[in-house]
Amino acid sequence: MSETRAIIYTKPNCPKCRMTAMQLSKVMPVQTITADTSDYERFRAAGYQSMPVVTVYQSDGTHDTWSDMRVDKIKQYTKGDALG
């Protein structure tokens, strides 16, 4: 796949998850996945302690992964105009 896209693991009733997905979906295709127990275990093992867990796959084949609502990361991809 050649375009930038994001996969966002979320949990139910998570405002930070919804906001992250909403902002990133303004500038790229976003797939949201509701995390299950095995996902939570995998994320904890990787050192992530909060949701959402976001991976942005870039057109050059690289990817960027973070957890929680990282306004700095969202602005990096939305050029700062989506969050004002």
Structural domain total, the chain: 1
Distance CA 77, CA 33 (A): 20
- Residue 12 has a pLDDT of 95
Predicted TM-score (pTM) of this structure? 0.89
| Residue 16 structural domain | 5-78
pLDDT at 82 over 70: no
Domain annotation covers residue 83: no
Is 15 strand, coil or helix? helix
Each residue of 3-30: pLDDT tens digit? 899 999 999 999 999 999 999 999 999 9
- Residue 84 has a pLDDT of 41
Distance CA 80, CA 84 (A): 6
Domain annotation covers residue 34: yes
- Residue 1 has a pLDDT of 44
DSSP track, 43-84: HHHTT--SS-EEEEEPTTS-EEEEES--HHHHHHHHTTSS--
Each residue of 38-75: pLDDT tens digit? 999 999 999 999 999 999 999 899 999 999 999 999 99
Q: What CATH number did the domain enclosing 44 receive?
A: 3.40.30.10
